[in-house]
């Protein structure tokens, strides 16, 4: 289980950093994917997800990023390359 303690300053980069610490990057036929290092499955547990501060457009970067993770089973990195997630689950209380 990977726990992310959210605050008003929590960004998508914090979640990506947590994923990179508990997962390893693998190259597959479909591209790069994060796979769990030491377990069959990783659960990403987000505490206090309601705390991130909305931007000037009243959206929260963290929530939009998590929606992308759940919808597409991955995310686009800073180079705009898609990185998939394998055997991961997102959870919140």
Domains assigned to the chain? 2-91 (3.40.50.300)
Distance of CA 55 to CAs 5, 24, 68, 79, 80, Å?
A: 19, 32, 18, 23, 22
Residue 47 contacts residue 91 (beta carbons within 8 Å): no
Alpha-carbon distances, residue 28 vs 6, 20, 56 (angstroms): 32, 17, 39
Contact between 37 and 20 under an 8 Å Cβ cutoff? The reply is no
pLDDT at 40: 85
pLDDT digits (tens, 9 = 90+) for 58-68: 888 898 999 99
- Condensed to tens digits (0 to 9), the pLDDT of residues 16-66 reads 999 999 999 999 888 899 999 888 888 889 999 888 888 888 888 898 999
In whole angstroms, give the CA distance from residue 18 to residue 66.
Answer: 13
């Amino acid at each position: 289980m990977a726990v992310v303690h959210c605050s008003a300053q929590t960004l998508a980069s914090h979640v990506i950093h947590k994923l990179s610490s508990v997962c390893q990057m693998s190259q597959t036929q479909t591209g790069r994917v994060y796979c769990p290092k030491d377990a069959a499955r990783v659960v990403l547990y987000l505490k206090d997800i309601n705390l991130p501060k909305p931007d000037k457009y009243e959206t929260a970067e963290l929530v939009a990023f998590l929606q992308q993770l759940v919808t597409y089973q991955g995310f686009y990195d800073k180079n705009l390359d898609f990185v998939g997630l394998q055997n991961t689950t997102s959870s919140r209380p």
